[in-house]
Chains A and B, each alone.
Chain A
Amino acid sequence: MTIRAGVVAVQGDVSEHADAIRRAAASHDETADVVEIRHSGAVPDCDILLLPGGESTTISRLLRDEGIAPEITEHVAAGKPVLATCAGLIVASTDPNDDRVDSLGLIDVTVERNAFGRQKDSFEAPLDVTGLDEPFPAVFIRAPLIDSVGDAEVLAEWDGRPVAVRDGPVVGTSFHPELTDDARIHDLAFFESEVANVVSDLG
């Protein structure tokens, strides 16, 4: 079966997400047909969406100007899955706590941008994630933290604060699962949950 995977590509680490979803699909004997989304019109044909890391100010501005933002909202309203990482999480949140970012309100959380400080404070560390047997190698780059969680499930915490959440079909992480070869977060978002049913129903 082939999954049409849209990687939002207005800015950020797009090719890393494209590689990660191809790897994750292959490990489930499926094929991901990756579409880079830089303009409106492409999202409605996608089964799943990935919102990469990058700069949330730039990404949210271009999503609005290109008319992609409402298409992503409709995708989620239709119950189709999304993985949003770092800047993607900020853009997907209900409240980015910063009027420089227009967020999409897909995940019921309030976030704090650059919560760990500057780039020299960025780090990698093993992280326990609900649903994974072994810790995940999490890479935090000028990462956001989640301040408060509304109607969403916390999947992981760092030092007592949420860094991975699920709200219906949308999974959001403060860290960058696409920067390592470990595809388990992409698995979790698209193949190994109730959402997996959405994907396997596509065939």
Chain B
Amino acid sequence: MTDETDLEELRRGTELVKRGFAKMQKGGVIMDVVNREQARIAEDVGAVAVMNLEAVPADIRKRGGVARMADPASLREVIDEVSIPVMGKARIGHTKEAQILEATGADMIDESEVLTPADDKYHIDKRDFTSPFVCGARNLGEALRRIDEGAAMIRTKGEAGTGDVNQAVHHQRNIKSAIRKLEGMSHEEREAWARENDAPADLVHETAEMGRLPVVNFAAGGIATPADAALMMHHGCDGIFVGSGIFGAEDPEAMGTAIVEAVNNWDDPETLAEIASNIGEGMKGDANVDLPEEEKMQGRGV
């Protein structure tokens, strides 16, 4: 062993380091929290990370108005409370909110449609940041555009705050089905697909060759029960975001514990049956089909 390690060659915020962070979250549950007490519970029940925001999506829906980044002081409190990574949400296209989150110490930034978009045309140039980003997507073209902008993780958009898993399933199926089609295509067919879907051709080829998204792919939007979480793992997701589903439930600790265990046991129905028993009622929610088009969040920032 020598002690000649060259500190000058240290590099932060590289694609490897940012995508690597997302890989460490795989097989885990990331939980929305609005304060340090909730963050404490999330860590205790086995969350791999927490997402700090001002209000959970179900409450943002009820409340209406402009939804913005949470107070950085609240993010700092959560950071001081837990040892697991803490993420924060910035508005789509709001570079300054993202910089503030990074400066405050957020480990990952969610450029999120749950908040009111700040820019109706452009997303944040995520390559400029040292911190990794996660972005929502409804289909493969959207996912690859976000990766091209520098996203280190993709999540389904689903329909946040509804407690209805329908749209997360729909989006994950869209992504998987498009990848399967690409795998069977010739080079020129993939080029044409890239043009038709506004997706960068190099990422289309890379995805086709890998047979999966080139970054970690989580489920989000409407996941409210252990069975919902297991369903998204069954559809090939790498892990789960739960928004209103934990702290909107009758017994958040029981629900949180059960969802964490369900992700590890997603392919074992008998164990799932035990896990899902006697955990109290899930969040009430709103069925996606009953939601007026103008109240849907998933169409924001495509």
A interface list, Cβ under 8 A from B = 9-16, 38-39, 53-55, 57-58, 61-62, 65-66, 86-87, 98, 100, 113-114, 118-130, 135, 139, 141-142, 154-160, 176, 179-180
- Flag whether B285 is at the interface (Cβ < 8 A): no
Instruction: Give me 11 A-to-B residue pairs in the complex whose CB atoms sit less than 8 angstroms apart, sorted by A's number.
Output: A10-B264, A11-B27, A55-B25, A61-B46, A62-B261, A100-B43, A122-B21, A124-B14, A126-B6, A128-B1, A176-B20
Do residues B20 and A179 form an inter-chain contact, with CB atoms below 8 A?
yes
Contacts of B131 in A (CB 8 A): 119-120
Do residues A123 and B17 form an inter-chain contact, with CB atoms below 8 A?
yes
- Report how many residues on chain B are interfacial, defined by Cβ distance under 8 Å: 45
Most chain A beta carbons < 10 A, residue from B6, B26, B105: B26
Do residues A179 and B16 form an inter-chain contact, with CB atoms below 8 A?
yes
Could you say which of B11, B26, B84 contacts A124, with CB atoms under 8 Å apart? B11
B4-33 Cβ-contact flags toward A at 8 Å (1 or 0): 111101111110110011011111100000
When A55-B49, A141-B24 are in contact, do A157 and B1 touch as well, CB less than 8 Å?
Answer: yes
Do residues A13 and B26 form an inter-chain contact, with CB atoms below 8 A?
yes
B243 shortest CB reach to chain A, Å: 19
B interface list, Cβ under 8 A from A = 1-7, 9-14, 16-17, 20-21, 23-28, 43, 46-49, 79, 83-85, 102, 105-108, 130-132, 260-261, 264-265, 268
Contacts of B46 in A (CB 8 A): 57-58, 61-62
Contacts of A100 in B (CB 8 A): 43, 83
Contacts of B265 in A (CB 8 A): 38-39
A61, B42: Cα distance in complex, Å: 13
- Starting from the known contacts A13-B26, A16-B23, A126-B5, 4 additional A-B residue pairs (CB-CB under 8 Å) come to A12-B28, A87-B24, A120-B131, A141-B24
When A13-B23, A14-B26, A55-B24 are in contact, do A139 and B16 touch as well, CB less than 8 Å?
Answer: yes
Residue of B nearest to A121 (CB): B12
A141, B16: Cα distance in complex, Å: 10
Do residues A126 and B84 form an inter-chain contact, with CB atoms below 8 A?
no
Contacts of B260 in A (CB 8 A): 58, 61-62
Contacts of A135 in B (CB 8 A): 5
Residue of B nearest to A137 (CB): B16
Could you say which of B2, B3, B4, B83 contacts A98, with CB atoms under 8 Å apart? B83
Could you say which of B6, B24, B47, B107 contacts A13, with CB atoms under 8 Å apart? B24
B78 shortest CB reach to chain A, Å: 12
Do residues A38 and B23 form an inter-chain contact, with CB atoms below 8 A?
no
B73 shortest CB reach to chain A, Å: 17
Could you say which of B14, B107, B264 contacts A11, with CB atoms under 8 Å apart? B264
A125, B12: Cα distance in complex, Å: 9
Could you say which of B3, B23, B49, B130 contacts A160, with CB atoms under 8 Å apart? B3
When A12-B27, A14-B26, A54-B48 are in contact, do A142 and B107 touch as well, CB less than 8 Å?
Answer: yes
For the complex of A and B, the 5 pairs showing the least CB-CB separation, nearest first, are A119-B107, A11-B27, A13-B23, A125-B10, A55-B48
B38 shortest CB reach to chain A, Å: 16
Do residues B5 and A159 form an inter-chain contact, with CB atoms below 8 A?
yes
A142 shortest CB reach to chain B, Å: 7
Do residues A54 and B12 form an inter-chain contact, with CB atoms below 8 A?
no
A156, B4: Cα distance in complex, Å: 11
Do residues B48 and A114 form an inter-chain contact, with CB atoms below 8 A?
no
Most chain A beta carbons < 10 A, residue from B12, B26, B27, B260: B27
Do residues B5 and A125 form an inter-chain contact, with CB atoms below 8 A?
yes
Do residues A142 and B16 form an inter-chain contact, with CB atoms below 8 A?
no
A133, B43: Cα distance in complex, Å: 41
Could you say which of B1, B5, B27, B264 contacts A130, with CB atoms under 8 Å apart? B1
Contacts of A154 in B (CB 8 A): 1
